[in-house]
């Protein structure tokens, strides 16, 4: 199948996805790319757990799952001398619309994740870990299980790793179609065999996590950056990016670009450069808007985006968030009302139903945008939408409520005239269809080559 009819050109600065071709994912291939050298270095040189955490702190690695929390700091929250079990969990539930980077790590470089998790377990004195994998990517789950078997057979995983006293067991867990399980405490509930409904925080997972035990959760890409940090030093990783924004970052570029795909660039790379790597705008059309960090983040106008650098602080300054690194590009033929409607539907569909503002509010957001899109909108609807967003944001147990409210607010703010046109003229400003898919056939033909 066209499974591999995709580009492996992740960019010249790639470290996590460097040198991958789709078939070289096995242990021996990984070892030939200096794989497991970081783990061996730690065990051979007798690096202390504190030293490992210090190195990660120095690297300024920030969580790649959405919130951008400093990883080294998170690891230092784990109680060191806790008497019972502690757990390590990897979040490979990647369900934020626009995000498809963790999947490439899982299927093309699974051992870099395994090595990163082993190192994290060592640093925090953890003996058991789970990798929670998104339900829809079944074959990638199977491959990850196979990679785990390879690592066990080679003595990297299991009892007395590489002949030392350090033991760590790692297992794969398969999700089954629930966006909310990407939220870390919903994910823990899910591993416990329950509905994925987020927990109140505090207590945070570091004190009350999986099965009530201290637990650390990180995103796939976060763990995957760790071997490089240990091998080359935290300083080297930091210097790839900029202060407070260390390293490279995987960006999943989707939407109206010529070559959608994953690109791994240094943090701080200009968006214009990233767009160029993705082949520029499909059909040479004009850029209208970009969601820079996954569907939960505020949309930014195209011309503004063209002068922004891709790092946590720069994007935050522009009023959005880097989030998961999913860059959704929309061209001039995109109806922003329709785009907002589809996203609102998603949050309505995926709300776990626990908190009233989110359960009811996401439905209202969707229904109001839906009626505007279908020519039944009223003048007062825009204020109603903003008011609703206020009533949801910050009033729910988890951030799904915010994730539903923030995009609506930004769509209305940045493209208000389009919403007003829809309401006044009962039709779309950009013409029929709402999405520019005219050139999709060409792109598909290109992809199949």
Partner 1 sequence: MLSPQAKQKIDRELTKYPADQKQSAVMSALAIVQDEYGWLSSEVMDEVAQYLGMPQIAVYEVATFYNMYNLKPMGKSKITVCTNLPCALSGGVDAAEYLKKKLGVDWRETTADGNFTLVEGECMGACGDAPVLLVNNKRMCSFMSNEKLDKLIEELK
Ligand X SMILES: Cc1cc2nc3c(=O)[nH]c(=O)nc-3n(C[C@H](O)[C@H](O)[C@H](O)COP(=O)(O)O)c2cc1C
- Pick one of ligand X, partner 1, none as the site partner of residue 219 (Cβ within 5 to 8 A by kind): ligand X
Nearer to ligand X, 11 or 66 (CB): 66
Nearer to ligand X, 143 or 249 (CB): 249
The DSSP symbol for 70 reads B
300 DSSP β-pair partners: 290
Nearer to partner 1, 173 or 208 (CB): 173
89 DSSP β-pair partners: 130, 217
Cβ 377 to ligand X, closest distance in Å?
Answer: 28
> Which residue in the set 55, 115, 140, 184 belongs to the binding site for ligand X (CB under 6 A)?
184
Nearer to ligand X, 358 or 382 (CB): 358
Cβ 215 to partner 1, closest distance in Å?
Answer: 13
Whole-number Cα distances in Å, 314 to 89, 100, 248, 319: 30, 23, 15, 9
> Which residue in the set 64, 86, 101, 422 belongs to the binding site for ligand X (CB under 6 A)?
64
Q: Does 194 bind partner 1 (CB under 8 A)?
A: yes
Q: What are phi and psi of 213, to 5 degrees?
A: -100, 160
Whole-number Cα distances in Å, 94 to 54, 171, 284: 28, 18, 30
Mark the segment that binds ligand X (CB under 6 A) among 162-170, 214-222, 303-311, 414-422. 214-222
Q: Does 140 bind ligand X (CB under 6 A)?
A: no
Cβ 184 to ligand X, closest distance in Å?
Answer: 4
Q: Does 136 bind partner 1 (CB under 8 A)?
A: yes
Q: Please, are residues 145 and 172 in contact by the beta-carbon 8 Å criterion?
A: yes
> Which residue in the set 11, 66, 72, 302 belongs to the binding site for ligand X (CB under 6 A)?
66
Nearer to partner 1, 60 or 106 (CB): 106
Q: Does 339 bind partner 1 (CB under 8 A)?
A: yes
Nearer to ligand X, 197 or 269 (CB): 197
Q: Does 102 bind partner 1 (CB under 8 A)?
A: yes
- Pick one of partner 1, ligand X, none as the site partner of residue 398 (Cβ within 5 to 8 A by kind): ligand X
Q: Report the C-alpha gap between 119 and 75 in whole angstroms.
A: 11
Q: What does the block give as tokens for 126?
A: 């953890």
DSSP string of 228-290, one letter each residue: HHHHH-HHHHHHHSBTTB-SEEEEEEEESBSS-EEEEEETTEEHHHHHHHTTSBGGGPPEEEE
Q: Does 69 bind ligand X (CB under 6 A)?
A: yes
Nearer to partner 1, 71 or 252 (CB): 252
Q: What does the block give as tokens for 35?
A: 């794989």
Q: Does 182 bind ligand X (CB under 6 A)?
A: yes
Q: Report the C-alpha gap between 188 and 50 in whole angstroms.
A: 26
Q: Report the C-alpha gap between 439 and 442 in whole angstroms.
A: 5
> Between residue 388 and residue 427, which ones bind ligand X under the rule CB under 6 A?
398-400, 403
168 DSSP β-pair partners: 158
Q: What does the block give as tokens for 13?
A: 């600065």
- With 0-12 / 13-18 / 19 or more C-beta atoms within 10 angstroms meaning exposed / middle / buried, residue 127 is middle
> Which residue in the set 91, 334, 436, 443 belongs to the binding site for ligand X (CB under 6 A)?
91
Q: Does 252 bind partner 1 (CB under 8 A)?
A: yes
- With 0-12 / 13-18 / 19 or more C-beta atoms within 10 angstroms meaning exposed / middle / buried, residue 425 is exposed
Q: What are phi and psi of 209, to 5 degrees?
A: -115, -125
- 3-state helix, strand and coil shares in percent for the chain, rounded to the nearest 5: 45, 15, 40
> Which residue in the set 217, 321, 330, 388 belongs to the binding site for ligand X (CB under 6 A)?
217
Annotate each residue in 202-241 with x if it binds partner 1 (CB under 8 A) or - if it does not, as one string.
---------x------------------------------
3-state secondary structure of 291: strand
Q: Does 95 bind ligand X (CB under 6 A)?
A: yes
Task: Tell me which residues touch partner 1 (CB under 8 A).
Answer: 1-3, 5-6, 85, 94-100, 102-103, 130, 134-139, 171, 173-179, 190-196, 211, 252-256, 260-262, 295, 326, 328-330, 334, 339, 342-343, 346, 349-350, 352, 435-437, 440-441, 443-445, 447-448
Task: Tell me which residues touch ligand X (CB under 6 A).
Answer: 63-67, 69, 91, 93-96, 180, 182-184, 217-219, 222, 398-400, 403
């Amino acid at each position: 199948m066209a499974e591999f009819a995709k580009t492996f050109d992740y960019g010249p600065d790639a470290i996590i996805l460097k040198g991958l071709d789709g078939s070289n994912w096995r242990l021996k291939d990984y070892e030939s790319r200096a794989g497991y050298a970081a783990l061996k270095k730690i065990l051979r040189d007798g690096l202390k757990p504190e030293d490992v955490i210090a190195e990660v702190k120095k690297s300024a690695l920030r969580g790649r799952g959405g919130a951008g929390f400093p990883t080294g700091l998170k690891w230092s929250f784990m109680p060191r001398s806790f008497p019972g079990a502690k757990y390590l969990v990897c979040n490979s539930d990647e369900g934020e619309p626009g995000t498809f980077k963790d999947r490439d790590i899982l299927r093309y470089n699974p051992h870099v994740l395994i090595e990163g998790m082993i190192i994290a377990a060592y640093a925090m004195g953890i003996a058991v870990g789970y990798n929670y994998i998104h339900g829809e990517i079944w074959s990638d789950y199977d491959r990850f299980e196979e990679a785990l078997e390879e690592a066990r057979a080679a003595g990297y995983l299991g009892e007395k790793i590489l002949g030392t006293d350090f033991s760590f067991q790692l297992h794969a867990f398969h999700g089954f179609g629930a966006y909310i399980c990407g939220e870390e405490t919903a994910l823990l509930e899910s591993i416990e065999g329950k509905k994925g409904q987020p927990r109140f925080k505090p207590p945070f997972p570091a004190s009350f996590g999986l099965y009530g035990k201290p637990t650390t959760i990180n995103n796939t890409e976060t763990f995957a950056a760790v071997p490089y940090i240990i091998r080359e030093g935290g300083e080297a990783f930091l210097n790839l990016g900029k202060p407070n924004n260390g390293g490279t970052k995987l960006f999943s570029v989707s939407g109206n670009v010529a070559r959608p795909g994953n690109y791994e660039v240094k943090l701080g790379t200009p968006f214009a450069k990233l767009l160029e790597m993705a082949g520029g705008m499909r059909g040479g059309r004009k850029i209208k808007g970009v969601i820079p960090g996954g569907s939960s983040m505020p949309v930014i106008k195209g011309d503004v985006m063209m002068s922004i650098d891709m790092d946590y602080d720069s994007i935050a300054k522009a009023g959005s968030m880097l989030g998961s690194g999913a860059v959704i590009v929309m061209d001039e033929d995109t109806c922003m009302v329709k785009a907002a409607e589809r996203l609102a539907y998603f949050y309505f569909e995926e709300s776990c139903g626990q908190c009233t503002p989110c359960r009811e509010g996401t439905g209202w957001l969707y229904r109001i945008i839906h009626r505007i899109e279908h020519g039944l909108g009223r003048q007062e609807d825009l204020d109603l939408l903003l008011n609703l967003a206020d009533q949801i944001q910050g009033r729910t147990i988890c951030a799904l409520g915010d994730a539903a409210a923030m995009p609506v607010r930004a769509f209305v703010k940045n493209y208000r005239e389009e919403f007003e046109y829809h309401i006044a003229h009962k039709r779309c400003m950009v013409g029929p269809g709402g999405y520019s898919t005219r050139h999709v056939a060409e792109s598909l033909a290109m992809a199949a080559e």
